Amino acid sequence: MDFKLEVAKLLATAADISVEDALSAVETPGNKAMGDFAYPCFRLAKVFRKAPPMIAQEIYEKLNKPAFIENIQVVGAYVNFFIEKGVYAQEVLSKVLAEKENFGTSNMGNGKTVVIDYSSPNIAKPFHVGHLRSTVIGNAIYKIYEKLGYHCEGVNHLGDWGTQFGKLIVAYRNWGSKEGVESNGIQELMRIYVKFHDEVENNPALDDEARLWFVKMQEGDEEALTLWKWFYDISIKEFDRVYDMLGVKFDAYTGESFYNDKMAPVVEELKEKKLLKESEGAMIVDLEDKNMPPCLIIRKDGGTLYATRDITAALYRKKTYNFEKCIYLTALDQNLHFAQWFEVIHKMGYDWYKDLIHVPFGLVSLDSGKLSTRHGNVVLMEDLLSQAIGETRRIIEEKNPSLENKEEVSKQVGIGAVIFNDLYNGRIKDVVFSWERMLNFDGETGPYVQYTHARACSILKRAGEVSLENINYGKLSDEASLDICKLLEAYPDKIKDAASKLEPSIVTRHLVAISQAFNKFYHDNPILNSEDEVRQARLAVVVAVKTVMKEGLRLLGIDAPEQM
Ligand code: ARG
């Protein structure tokens, strides 16, 4: 039932105007005392040639109050409508209970594909906390779009190509060993890479050597590629451990190397379209007309660049997926890079350049000291997640020592806290890691929302068999129940809003609001000890909240344990 429309129909009959006219004037007041819907009569003053308050009074007298309206009041020039709470509760809850986890699902995206380029760490470099945001936000956007019926392609655009691999090969041949890399993985690769940078200061010839090795890689030299592939496999193994912990998956691991043999035709196309210009021996696309520095396509030494591969990848993705949108998640320090090469695609004459969307986010900082690091200043994701799990285990040990499967729950809650913390604020804001705040079971945190869900599960467990037939929704006329219904009703729109703004925090915050309303409901209303009809109706609220919370957490990439 569309209450607003029904109210408009009543008004149309009473005032003798069209339903459309009435509908366009009906307001939803922010102040609950003014009703659920309000109709201002100012607009009618000209037609009726009367003062608006008089018109309001006359309309009021002609209105027939139907069953779904609890009360109608005239306040000044307004006619205010109060919806019958039981009818409203029935409207919302019966829909949630019938649709279950599909509540909020939409078919708006059917037949459309969205490519999401997220995480995309760099091979042979540690997966550090900076990559966390891309991974977590990208994963949530993926799930949110999928919920709206879109077909999603999650792409990990690994940084696995470029001159840095020439350097790494030189470093390995000079200072590396098979055993060292095999036992210490990325850490050892980092060590020799740093060593290269130290040595090159006194020995610039190393740079030329490195360049040569990268040229060899581009030409398919076996020795070069074997070493590169080895570094690649070692890195992926470490990354996959992190993805496993986070519960994140990709549809394709098409990184930068994937485009090695696909760039030449694109460079040719740029040339044909007269977009390439020589500048100090390099090839560029001039962007002066857009007030941007030129986009570098080919280096002086013939090497291709990050942007060359992004342009090639976009053309490949358009051809392969025919996407409606291609979304890129990186920190905001890459704003210029994306603005530049999006513009190159534009200049190439592709009108879908406007479907390329860079979604930037703020940086991560740590409240210093509390986070242990294995070495240097890079905080490794794996260490951070392990620490989150450890801290959570300590809290659970304190709060609920007899909990079964403590290990599994610590993992769900610890990782959930990290993800939630990242998705709680608007993405452009910087994220601060503070264990104390993140793991506070009473704050606006992952554990708080998970705990609320677990509380709902525990009520249902204690209730035993819960019948959802013939519920007397009229028993849900209290303020807290009404608040929950309003939040549940708004949930599908929140998902759509999060998708269109590419802002998972809209869902995160809505889950916090539902949790708060539910905890108030639980506090104000006895459930299990109430008389039968009340008990049943309240349990229906619990089931609906539990269902939506679990599904909402899933959209964010967070598990919902039944006990904690
Ligand atoms: N590898 C890059 C980095 O770590 C991120 C890649 C983002 N995706 C892209 N298509 N450029 O900074």
CATH code at 41? 3.30.1360.70
Calculate mean pLDDT across residues 204-210: 96
Strands (E), 124-235: 151-155
Is residue 53 in some structural domain? yes
Please tell me what DSSP assigns to residue 322: -
Q: Tell me: the pLDDT tens digits for 10-60?
A: 999 999 999 999 999 999 998 989 999 999 999 999 889 999 999 999 999
| Residue 120 in contact with ligand 1 by CB distance below 6 A | yes
Whether 484 shows a pLDDT value over 90: the answer reads yes
Encoded tokens for 158: 């690994």
| Residue 160 in contact with ligand 1 by CB distance below 6 A | no
Whether 369 shows a pLDDT value over 70: the answer reads no
Nearest CA to ligand 1 atom 11: 310
Q: Tell me: the pLDDT tens digits for 146-157?
A: 999 999 999 999
Is residue 203 in some structural domain? no
Nearest CA to ligand 1 atom 6: 120
Is residue 14 in some structural domain? yes
Instruction: Cite the active site residues.
Output: 125, 128, 131
| Residue 328 in contact with ligand 1 by CB distance below 6 A | yes
Q: Tell me: the pLDDT tens digits for 442-454?
A: 899 999 999 999 9
Q: Quick one: pLDDT at residue 289?
A: 97
Do 26 and 59 form a contact (C-beta atoms < 8 A)? no
Whether 371 shows a pLDDT value over 60: the answer reads no
| pTM to 2 decimal places | 0.93
| Residue 117 in contact with ligand 1 by CB distance below 6 A | yes
CA of 338 from ligand 1 middle (Å) equals 10
How many structural domains is the chain composed of? Answer: 1
Ligand 1 mutation pick, 254, 330, 345, 361, max ligand atoms within 8 A of CB: 330
Whether 372 shows a pLDDT value over 50: the answer reads no
Calculate ∠ Cα 161-267-166, nearest 5°.
25
Is residue 75 in some structural domain? yes
Q: Quick one: pLDDT at residue 367?
A: 65
Q: Which amino acid is at 460?
A: L
Calculate mean pLDDT across residues 471-497: 95
Q: Tell me: the pLDDT tens digits for 71-125?
A: 999 999 999 999 999 999 999 999 999 999 999 999 999 999 999 999 999 999 8
| Residue 122 in contact with ligand 1 by CB distance below 6 A | yes
State the residue range of the domain holding 20. 3-83
Do 116 and 145 form a contact (C-beta atoms < 8 A)? yes
Q: Tell me: the pLDDT tens digits for 406-456?
A: 999 999 999 999 999 999 999 999 888 888 889 999 899 999 999 999 999
d(CA 484, CA 487): 5
Is residue 43 in some structural domain? yes
Is residue 69 in some structural domain? yes
Is residue 31 in some structural domain? yes
Is residue 93 in some structural domain? no
